[in-house]
Every structure is written in structure tokens, then in C-alpha cells.
A = this chain, B = another copy of it.
Amino acid sequence: MKPVPYPTIQRFPLYLEVIKQLQLAGIKTISATDIAQNLGFTNIQVRKDIGYTGIIGKPKIGYNIKELEKVITSFLGWQNTNDAILVGVGALGSALLGYKGFEDYGLNIISGFDVNKKIVGKKIHGKKILHIDDFESQVKLLKVSIGILTVNQSSAQQITDLMVKAGIKGIWNFSSENLKVPDDIVVQRENLSASLALLSVKLSHKFKTKQ
């Protein structure tokens, strides 16, 4: 089987959103062209992406919208909820604890961990905040495999080592540290600065050329 390109995987959640929106409107079938127009892509690209899921569409009609939602969701592994824990309950960590959108992504943040005595023991957005000393035992107890890292750069590697030791398999890294992990651990870096960089450069380019 040919590997699915990363850009394709990254577009899938966008397709899911369009699908959900149109489903709410009562639509039963959806074509690559429909999705493309909604997102500003080409229909060829959307059709090719969808092709990776193996779903069969009908000419002149498109795809069964329910079935398409199912195959994409399943491809992403979002059909069942995956439990996650979060370490570093600062401004960003708190925000993520309260972010409702993760439900759509099959992600359930069980609890947050920190060392700050002011918040340990309390609840934030309904999620209990525990002390980092209890991290390893909790992760092992609950068999959590995804860790969300929202600590500052200076403690990022240390917490990462702890996550690995506790059995975490995938780390969503919101810090700017380049984490060192064993081969069998997946790290996904969330890079706000990268997207701000693109915005900045596109903006300055527009100003240079247009004015």
C-alpha cells in the first residue's frame, strides 16, 4: 500500500468539517467539487485525497456523505475517543483543557498536571489538576497513551522523559524545545511561530508588491 502524504492527512480534518456542516443541512451526498469549493482547493486534489481512503463514489453524484465521514474519521483513528493527559497548566494549558473542539477529534483530556500549589487539587474547566508527582502512577493506572506538553521550554525535556517513562506513546509538543525521545515515541510539534511566520512574510510581500 502506498503511503498517504502528510499534506493529505492534514487536509482530512478540514474535509470532516465541511462534511459535518453539510450533514446538518440535510445533504446526503457530497462531491469532491463541493468540498473543494467550500475550502478553496481544487476538486482534483480533494478527489485524490479521498481516494486514499478507498471509498467508492458515483459519477455525477459524488460520495455518500455518511460513509465518507466514516472512512475519514476511521482513517484518522478518531472513531473511538483517545484519552490524553496534559502537563503544564498555564495560560495555554488551561485553554486547551477547556477547548470543546477536541471532542470532534476523538481526543479526551482526562486531567492536567502541574507543580503550582495554587491550582493542584482544583478543577479547571471541569478537569482535575493533579501534582506532577502523581503523574507516572496515574498514567499507568489509566493506560493513557497521549500526552500534551504545555510547559515552558526549560522543563520540557524533563517532563518528556517522565512521560516516556510512564508509558506515553505520543506527545503533542506545544513548547519550543526540540525533544529527544526513543524511536518508538511519536512527537508532534505544534508550532505557532511557523504559521505566524507565514502570515508575516505574506503580509510584507503584499505590501511590497501592491504598494
Chain A positions within 8 Å of B, measured between CB atoms, are 4, 6, 9-14, 17, 38-40, 75-78, 82, 91-92, 94-99, 101-102, 104-107, 125, 145-146, 169-170, 172, 176, 178, 184, 186, 188-204, 206-207, 210
Chain B residue contacts of A176, Cβ below 8 A: 17, 101
A194 to B8, CA, bound (A): 10
Given A95-B95, A193-B13, A197-B12, A186 and B202 contact (CB-CB distance below 8 Å): yes
Chain B residue contacts of A210, Cβ below 8 A: 184
Chain B residue contacts of A95, Cβ below 8 A: 91-92, 94-96
A191 to B104, CA, bound (A): 14
Copies of this chain held together in the complex: 2
Interface of A is mostly: helix
A105 to B194, CA, bound (A): 10
- A10 contacts B204, CB within 8 Å? no
Smallest beta-carbon distance A84→chain B, Å: 10
- B169 contacts A14, CB within 8 Å? no
Smallest beta-carbon distance A62→chain B, Å: 19
23 A-B pairs, CB-CB below 8 angstroms?
A: A4-B201, A6-B198, A9-B201, A13-B191, A13-B194, A13-B197, A14-B193, A14-B194, A39-B178, A76-B200, A77-B201, A77-B203, A78-B200, A92-B99, A94-B95, A95-B95, A95-B96, A105-B196, A105-B197, A106-B200, A170-B199, A172-B195, A188-B198
